[in-house]
Amino acid sequence: MDKVKVNAQPLVYPMPAFLIGANVEKRANFMTAAWSGIACGEPPMISVALRHPRYTLKGVEENMTFSVNVPSVDQAREVDYCGIVTGAKVDKVAVCKFKVFYGKLETAPMVQQCPINLECKVEHMLDLGSHVLVIGKIEEVYVSSNCFTGDHPDVKKIRPIMWTTLPSNVYQGLGPEVAKAFKVGLELK
Ligand SMILES: Cc1cc2nc3c(=O)[nH]c(=O)nc-3n(C[C@H](O)[C@H](O)[C@H](O)COP(=O)(O)O)c2cc1C
């Protein structure tokens, strides 16, 4: 199969579109982040890559706490807005009509309307160049009660939003199921 080189760049799919929350000067602020992912299971940790000038990063450094909010496809407008304006100039919470709540860390603001919220304490901050990789220990997880089937969070009810990155540059939901995990591979075993 022929391959085309497209330069060294962080190109992977899918990319999430999370809302990262932090208190900046005691006021809740949220920014959109696609460069984020699970970092460890025990203890549970998540990473997010924030560019140096982000107002949100200022709040993360101030309190050493932050939140990762998983929005649903219904929140595309708010997700995009939080990714194109800075909290240094506007109150994004007011514009987006976010209902903000706090958990046990008390300084990591979370968005009630997002189906999943991870409340995190900063464990590491790595200055990697253009971005600071913030690695947070997940201290608590909140899931909207209407997003469960039985005892488990149900991704079909959560309906997470993804970002397709450039050049298509759109928000999308999950596609159709392809195969059963930890099962379809057995056909090759
Ligand atoms: C879809 C999308 C994904 C983004 N992902 C990131 C990211 O992973 N890291 C980052 O630093 N900025 C990212 N941004 C840009 C920030 O969200 C944007 O600069 C925002 O205005 C910063 O807000 P703040 O200054 O209030 O912190 C993204 C923007 C969009 C629209």
Tell me what percent of the residues of the chain surpass a pLDDT of 70: 100
For residues 58 and 23, give the distance between their C-alpha atoms in angstroms, rounded to a whole number. 9
Distance 83 CA to ligand 1 centre (A): 4
Residue 20 near residue 50 (C-beta atoms within 8 A): yes
Distance 31 CA to ligand 1 centre (A): 6
Quick one: average pLDDT of 13-20?
96
Burial class (CB in 10 A: 0-12, 13-18, 19+), 133: middle
What does the pLDDT read at residue 37? 97
**Ligand 1 cavity residues, CB under 6 Å:** 17, 29, 31-35, 49-51, 54-56, 80, 83-88, 163
For residues 61 and 100, give the distance between their C-alpha atoms in angstroms, rounded to a whole number. 20
| Homologous superfamily in CATH for domain 15-188 | Electron Transport, Fmn-binding Protein; Chain A (2.30.110.10)
Q: pTM for the whole thing?
A: 0.98
For residues 147 and 159, give the distance between their C-alpha atoms in angstroms, rounded to a whole number. 9
What does the pLDDT read at residue 24? 98
Q: How many helices (H) and strands (E) does the chain have?
A: 4, 14
Strand partners, 135: 47, 124
Q: How is the chain split into domains, by residue range?
A: 15-188
For residue range 161-188, list pLDDT tens digits in order: 999 998 899 999 999 999 999 999 999 9
Question: Residue 32: pLDDT band by 50, 70, 90 thresholds?
Answer: very high
For residue range 52-90, list pLDDT tens digits in order: 999 999 999 999 999 999 999 999 999 999 999 999 999
What does the pLDDT read at residue 106? 98
